[in-house]
A and B are shown apart, each in its own frame.
Chain A
Amino acid sequence: MVKKEPLHPHQRDLEDTPFTHYQIMTTAITELLFQKNIFSPDDLRAQLEAIDRKGPADGARLIARAWVDPDFKERMKTSVNSAATELGLDPGNIPILAVENTPELHNVIVCTLCSCYPRMLIGLPPDWYKSRSYRARVVREPRTVLKEFGTEISDKVEIRVHDSTADLRYMVIPMKPDCTESMDESALAKLVTRDTMIGVTLAKVPD
């Protein structure tokens, strides 16, 4: 009898590969911290849940306030952290710098070395932000990358990429779209997406 080949070849799970050195070290240290009662599995889970719950809403709220209150925008450009605290938000301990788009300047954020990102205000970074492709390409062909996001920036406008290589995190203050004069802050915040605050898209235009 002829052995029948399965229709779908067996695909190895990622977990089929042996643990790496750092996976073993991470697990070992976690277990030690539990055993020494430095924190509990519940503490760890609560922390992971808190990180997962973060999204772009807080960042969008800050931008909307900056759009309607020029003094607030200036304070935000000096220190995002203290501006966020003013609104009762928790920006974390890492200093965050806001870079403002103007008719002459469009800002884009990347971390070419890893995945630095203002997580406390805009949530976990998307997978593409951490990909080698985005990190390598946005610094050397930003206009091509932006086009792939559907964002065309005039050649008259300077594109400035900010590479968060060190101790700061960055977020973009986009330009306020036209025809939004009658909108209140909460409606304006809905025009600001995660990608807008990374700088790969512009703020949404109201319907």
Chain B
Amino acid sequence: MLASYPPGHIRTPFFVRGKSGIVHDILGMYRNPENLAYGRVDADNKYLLRVLFKQKDLWQSYNGSGHDSIILDLYEHWLESSGIHI
């Protein structure tokens, strides 16, 4: 995930910015909420993806099992490829 902190109506929580996850599935195209929020009726379409992160990769002091995970719905322009395909 991009470690980017632009102002505005952003749906990408801080706790995953700059972190690595796996694309779990692709939900399809939805209108970009970052533009829709400002009344832009011509807001662009973006792919929305479900991205899975391992909890231990997000929190240093994670107190649960190493298997535990979290999935977030994130827009394509927040992702950058790690070059690794699973």
Which A residues fall within an 8 A CB radius of B? 95, 112-113, 139-144, 155-168
Contact = CB atoms under 8 A, between A and B. Distances in A.
Interface residues of B, number: 25
B11 A165 contact: yes
B48 interface: yes
13 contacts: A113-B13, A139-B15, A140-B59, A142-B55, A142-B68, A144-B63, A157-B65, A157-B67, A158-B68, A161-B69, A161-B71, A166-B48, A166-B75
Interface of B: 11-13, 15, 27, 30, 33, 48, 52, 55, 58-59, 62-65, 67-75
Given A164-B73, A165-B72, A168-B73, A143 B63 contact: yes
Given A161-B71, A166-B74, 15 more contacts: A112-B15, A139-B15, A140-B58, A140-B62, A143-B68, A155-B65, A156-B65, A157-B67, A158-B69, A160-B52, A161-B70, A163-B73, A166-B30, A167-B27, A167-B48
A141 B64 contact: yes
Given A166-B33, A167-B48, A160 B75 contact: no
Say whether chain A's binding surface is mostly helix, strand, loop, or mixed. loop
B13 to A, nearest CB: 5
Nearest to B69: A160
A15 to B, nearest CB: 29
Contacts of A144: 63
Given A164-B73, A166-B74, A142 B30 contact: no
B72 A163 contact: yes
B63 A112 contact: no
Contact of A165 (B13, B55, B63, B69): B13
Given A140-B58, A158-B65, A159-B65, A166 B11 contact: yes
Nearest to A144: B63
Contacts of A162: 70-71
Given A165-B73, A168-B73, A112 B68 contact: no
B27 A165 contact: no
From A139, A142, A166, name the one whose CB has the most chain B CB atoms within 10 angstroms: A166
A95 B27 CA distance: 10
Contacts of B64: 141-143, 155, 159
A155 to B, nearest CB: 4
A29 to B, nearest CB: 13
B46 to A, nearest CB: 10
Contacts of B27: 95, 167-168
Contact of B67 (A113, A158, A164): A158
